[in-house]
Structure 1
Amino acid sequence: MEIRQLRYFVAVAEEGGFARAAERLHIVQSAVSQQVRRLERELGLTLFERSTRRVALTAAGARLLPEARSVLDAADRTRRTAERIAAGETGALDLGAVRGPGDRVYRLLSRLADLAPDLRVRVRRMPASERLAAVRTGALDAALVRALPVAPGLELLPLWQDPLYVALPARHPAAALARPALGDLAELPLRLAERERNAPFHDLVTSAFREAIGHAPTAAAPFTDLQDTLTAIGAEGDRAPSWTVFYEVTGLPEVAGTAIRPLAAPPITIFLAVLPGVPGPALRQLLAAAADTH
């Protein structure tokens, strides 16, 4: 017994004849008749009373009709579910996430929920090295990473760019600029975390400084945490001026004596780390959501 045979049987029953069923199914009448007779032989039942003037269901056909419709409904649901799985609209996606900036990640996940409401997204937060290792082992389907130029064994797909921010003494001339450039800060010592704490970000800043100024930035005391570093910049003011650069995570703080401005360049890029190859359906939905939230 084939799904096609049941579909032809239901069409004949609902249309009241083989000719009208063939029109509905967009096939020739002989094919409908042949498949219904084959179904009758396989079941050992006569499903229709046939005459030159009418085609009517037998008692057996009438009893079988609801069951046939149920089977066809189940087959259609299976097909639709398979199509949704293939399109990435259902299933599960394990995503390693970065913190912040602002509401960008939340907007990404919200848009993904709009595109694929039945896709279950499990967000996991962990250090960048652990996120990348989890993608390599398959524990994560993908991971968001920040400012990472290469990741051995993985492909990095750029999703969006966010601005960097500078913090400097409020009375420094560059504080009057809406978007200071690195050249406006060249004479100030830079508070930058040691490279081993965040190598991709450290390399981004120092490389951009060399490209813009021609040399590495003058080092001040190392960046410790954001609040303490901004407080030190504001407190030292004109006595021992310095500056720092950072990316937004949980909003921009306000610290007395310290001005915070968006840096003209460079921006910081957020990548999606995935295994090499053609992205699967769920990842394609995630990439579509990212494109919509630029």
Structure 2
Amino acid sequence: MNAGEGAAVELRQLRYFVAVAEEGGFGRAAERLGIVQSAVSQQIRRLERAWGVELFERTTRRVRLSGAGERLLPEARAVLAAADRTARVAADIAAGDDGILRLGGIHGPGDRIGRVLAALSAGAPRLRVRLHRLPVTRRLEAVRDGELNAALVRALPDEPGAAPGLEALPLWSDPLYVALPEGHPLAADPEPCLERLARLPLRLAPRDRNPPFHALVAGAFRAAGVRPAAGPPFTDLQATLTAIGTDREPSWTLFYEVRGLPGIPRVAVRPLTGLTVTTSLAVRPGPPGPALRHLLRALHAVG
């Protein structure tokens, strides 16, 4: 039989091999392992057949390593050490202290996300985070499909049906801001309200770009009993604010802070009265696993 043919080698056979080599005999190895000598002898024979070599030179007076056994002993020890390391890592992963956490992320505001990751690192130093930046709809799909363990999402309602197949765990709330032409009479109000702003065309992204935020804005207008005048679509924040400051026809938009409040010529930025945006953690239903519990502790510590 050639080496490598036959039955698969078992870790216990390697442990028996190392024990016999270190103890210098089958009887002492059996005592160390807490099994009968015949079981040790049987497994060593199976290992020798599997590898096609004699591991020990046996006489009536003693047992010692053969040349092949001497060469294979460090390899067997290395395999056993690797198996022990793997078992320890698996135990740490099961406890949430090691492994990879795949998280759908958002930007800002300020350094909050950085502080969350720092708190997570302090609580679980060996837990590695893979941060994925995805559009909000794709982010939710990735959690639902198991590609992500969780995702941070703004404006996701904490109510049944808001994100089918997921739970939304509210974390913190941030103010919303209004941007409108600096020379418009409403810009004189330090905290404009939706009822007055509704008469001015609103630049809002299409619903499919950000369904949760679109639903938040639409719900706020319904609660205020007004319907906003439709303006040109919101593209990105920089381009939209530039258009608000330069177009002849006045318009406005509302947004949440990401990397500080922007400063655009001829544009006034004001806090919006009575409306905030909540950031939630979207997860699959059920008790959170150990890694997610570490993340939740870090999020609540910072939030």
**Length-normalised TM-score, structure 1:** 0.67
Match of 2:222 among 203, 210, 224: 210
Tell me which amino acid in the other structure corresponds to 2:230.
A
91, 94, 104: which one aligns with 1:96: 104
- Residue 183 (structure 1) aligned with residue 183 (structure 2): no
Which residue identity does 1:242 align to in structure 2?
S
2:289 counterpart (271, 280, 284): 280
Q: Return the alpha-carbon distance in structure 1 between the equivalents of residues 145 and 234 of structure 2.
A: 34
- From 126, 148, 151, the equivalent of 2:156 is 148
Q: 1:259 to 1:117 in 2, by over 3 A?
A: same
Match in the other structure for 2:127: 119
Report how far residue 194 of structure 1 moved: 2.1
How many angstroms does 1:259 deviate by? 0.7
Once the two structures are superposed, residues 111-144 of structure 1 have per-residue CA deviations (whole angstroms, 9 ceiling, x without a partner) of 1112222211111112222222222222211111
- The aligned residue for residue 162 of structure 1 is 174
For 2:184 and 2:89, the matched residues in 1 are separated by 62
| Identical positions, percent | 60
1:178 to 1:288, Cα distance in 2 relative to 1, 3 A: farther
- The residue number in structure 2 matching 1:30 is none
Give, in whole Å, the separation in 2 of the partners of 1:229 and 1:99: 19
Q: Tell me the alpha carbon deviations over residues 162-195 of structure 1, each in whole angstroms, 9 at most, x when there is no partner.
A: 2211101223344334433223423322111222
CA separation of 1:136 and 1:206: change in aligned 2, threshold 3 A: closer
- Label 1:189 to 1:130 Cα distance change in 2 as closer, same or farther (>3 A): closer
Q: Which of 284, 287, 302 in structure 2 is aligned with 1:293?
A: 302
Residue 211 of structure 2 corresponds to: 199
Mapped partners of 2:196, 2:123: distance in 1: 44
Q: Which residue of 1 aligns with 2:242?
A: 231
CA gap of 1:86–1:43, structure 2 versus 1, over 3 A, is: closer
**Contact between 2:195 and 2:226, CA under 8 Å: does it hold in 1?**
no
The partner residue of 1:220 within 215, 231, 245 is 231
Q: 1:143 to 1:194 in 2, by over 3 A?
A: same
- Equivalent in the alignment of 1:268: 277
Structure 1 Cα separation of the partners of residues 128 and 172 of structure 2: 23
Write out the 4+ residue segments of structure 1 that deviate beyond 6 Å after TM superposition. Answer: 77-83
Give the letter aligned to residue 229 of structure 2.
Answer: T
Which of 113, 117, 120 matches 1:109?
117
User: Structure 1: which 5+ residue stretches go unaligned?
Assistant: 1-38, 45-76
**What is the match of residue 18 of structure 2?**
none
Aligned length: 221
Which string of whole-angstrom CA distances, capped at 9 and with x for unpartnered residues, describes residues 81-104 of structure 1? 788655533222111112333322
Cα distance in 1 for partners of 2:35, 2:240 equals: 82
State how far apart, in whole Å, the 2-side matches of 1:221 and 1:137 are.
35
251-260 or 83-92: bigger deviation: 83-92
Compared with structure 1, are the counterparts of its residues 277 and 178 closer, same or farther at alpha carbon in structure 2 (3 Å cutoff)? same
Aligned counterpart in structure 1 of residue 139 of structure 2, from 127, 131, 140: 131
Q: What SS does structure 1 have at the residue aligned with 2:200?
A: coil
**Matched residue of 1:180: which SS?**
coil
For the residues of structure 1 that align with 2:208 and 2:290, how far apart are their CA atoms? 36
Alpha carbons 2:103, 2:129 under 8 Å: kept? yes
Q: Secondary structure at the match of 1:163?
A: strand
